[in-house]
């Protein structure tokens, strides 16, 4: 039981980060019917943006008084979100809006997204040295054991990541379902032409959707960087996994993206528990995705954003 709970907690920790990135995919898809493959690089820039801020505050030593640790963490989380939001907003204005204004085919959006992804990865390699593994200064005891669950150790970092992700996911759910901006996003996702006739600014709504999706991906980048080393091409694998999670839960469905991310993270970490070689982790994850889609092609929840609660 202790081994099972240990793998489960690790899976929820990783799945929380997948879910935040998956929300970025699902928000943009729900509004534009577009897969923003550059979202993985938005995630990566969030890690580097927050790293610069945290390193500036605490320096190489990582020394921070106890009372300042929550403030440093909050500064890192916000700077990661702001970095991701800024990159996502720029992407929408430069790579997607001109194509949308010209009414080009959907394939052009896909090519633009892939091109933007490669450009951002190469830009980060130039700016931050593509061959260097970076790590946040150790400004708090990430491996400190807080409590045990059925014999499994739960560390401070795991609690912080899971709680931070849950708070952001719940905030987004309430934002989309219960605010004027959220109603505008759902209206554009349902029928953009009718939404425009009802007085909704389509361009502004789409731009804000990208900003929200980028902020979530950037915050996930900070959490990922706090837990692991990070580098200029770090976004590729988590980005693919998060996209798979969004499809698993139901692409275009916010709660589906949350659920899909958590499920995929748990499945990945249960691979060694059931005795399968860890080299098969990615294979098992995508087998689960295929099996779910065979029996439920629209994903587990399967609603589009415009029809979400």
Domain ranges of the chain: 2-236
Averaged pLDDT, 107-128 = 90
SS3 per-residue string spanning 66-126: HHHHHHHHHHHHHHHHHHHHHHHHHHHHHHHHHHHHHCCCHHHHHHHHHHHHHHHHHHHHH
Taking the C-alpha atoms of residue 133 and residue 23, their distance in angstroms, rounded to an integer, is 27
Tokens representing 211?
Answer: 């900003």
SS3 146: strand
Number of Cβ within 10 Å of residue 297's Cβ equals 9
User: Is 70 exceeded by the pLDDT of residue 234?
Assistant: yes
Beta bridge mates, 148 = 153
pLDDT at 198: 87
User: Is 60 exceeded by the pLDDT of residue 25?
Assistant: yes
Taking the C-alpha atoms of residue 106 and residue 97, their distance in angstroms, rounded to an integer, is 13
pLDDT band at 193 (very low <50, low <70, confident <90, very high): confident
Averaged pLDDT, 243-249 = 91
Q: Which uninterrupted H or E stretch holds 305?
A: none
Q: Can you state the angle between helices 156-178 and 180-190, rounded to 10 degrees?
A: 70
Averaged pLDDT, 64-93 = 93
User: Is 80 exceeded by the pLDDT of residue 153?
Assistant: yes
Taking the C-alpha atoms of residue 218 and residue 157, their distance in angstroms, rounded to an integer, is 18
Tokens representing 166?
Answer: 């849950």
Give Cα 260 distance to the centre of its chain: 12
Which 8-state DSSP code applies to residue 194?
Answer: H
Q: Assess contact for 255 and 301: CB atoms under 8 A.
A: yes
pLDDT at 143: 87
pLDDT at 54: 93
Ranked by mean pLDDT, the top range of 24-33, 76-85, 131-140, 248-257 is 76-85
Give Cα 251 distance to the centre of its chain: 14
CA dihedral 220, 237, 247, 268 (to 10 degrees): -90
pLDDT at 303: 62
Taking the C-alpha atoms of residue 167 and residue 197, their distance in angstroms, rounded to an integer, is 35
pLDDT band at 308 (very low <50, low <70, confident <90, very high): very low
Q: What is the sign of the dihedral through the CA atoms of 210, 51, 58 and 15? A: positive
SS3 302: coil
- With 0.75 as the threshold, say if the pTM is over it: yes
Q: Assess contact for 18 and 264: CB atoms under 8 A.
A: yes
Q: Assess contact for 225 and 136: CB atoms under 8 A.
A: yes
Query: Among 11-20, 129-138, 281-290, where is mean pLDDT lowest?
Result: 129-138
Taking the C-alpha atoms of residue 119 and residue 126, their distance in angstroms, rounded to an integer, is 11
pLDDT band at 146 (very low <50, low <70, confident <90, very high): confident
pLDDT at 309: 39
Q: What is the sign of the dihedral through the CA atoms of 124, 127, 128 and 132? A: positive
pLDDT at 306: 53
């Amino acid at each position: 039981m202790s081994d099972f709970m240990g793998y489960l907690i690790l899976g929820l920790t990783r799945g929380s980060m997948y879910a935040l990135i998956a929300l970025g995919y699902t928000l943009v898809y729900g509004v534009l019917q577009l897969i923003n493959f550059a979202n993985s690089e938005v995630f990566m820039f969030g890690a580097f943006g927050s790293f610069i801020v945290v390193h500036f505050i605490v320096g190489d030593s990582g020394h921070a008084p106890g009372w300042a640790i929550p403030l440093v963490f909050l500064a890192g989380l916000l700077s990661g979100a702001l970095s991701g939001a800024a990159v996502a907003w720029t992407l929408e204005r430069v790579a997607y809006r001109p194509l949308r204004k010209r009414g080009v085919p959907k394939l052009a959006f896909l090519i633009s997204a892939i091109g933007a992804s490669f450009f951002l990865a190469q830009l980060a390699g130039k700016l931050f040295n593509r061959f260097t593994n970076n790590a946040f200064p150790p400004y708090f005891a990430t491996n400190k054991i807080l409590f045990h669950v059925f014999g499994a150790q739960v560390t401070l970092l795991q609690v912080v990541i899971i709680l931070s992700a849950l708070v952001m996911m719940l905030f987004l759910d309430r934002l989309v379902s219960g605010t004027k901006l959220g109603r505008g996003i759902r209206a554009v996702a349902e029928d953009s032409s009718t939404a425009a006739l009802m007085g909704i600014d389509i361009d502004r709504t789409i731009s804000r959707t990208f900003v929200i999706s980028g902020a979530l991906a950037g915050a996930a980048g900070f959490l990922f960087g706090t837990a692991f080393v990070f580098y200029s091409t770090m976004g590729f694998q988590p980005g693919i996994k998060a996209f798979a999670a969004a499809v698993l839960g139901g692409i275009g469905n916010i709660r589906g993206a949350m659920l899909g991310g958590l499920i995929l993270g748990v499945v990945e970490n249960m691979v060694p528990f059931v005795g399968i070689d860890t080299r098969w982790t990615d294979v098992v994850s995508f087998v689960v995705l295929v099996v779910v889609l065979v029996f439920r092609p629209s994903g587990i929840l399967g609603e589009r954003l415009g029809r979400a609660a």
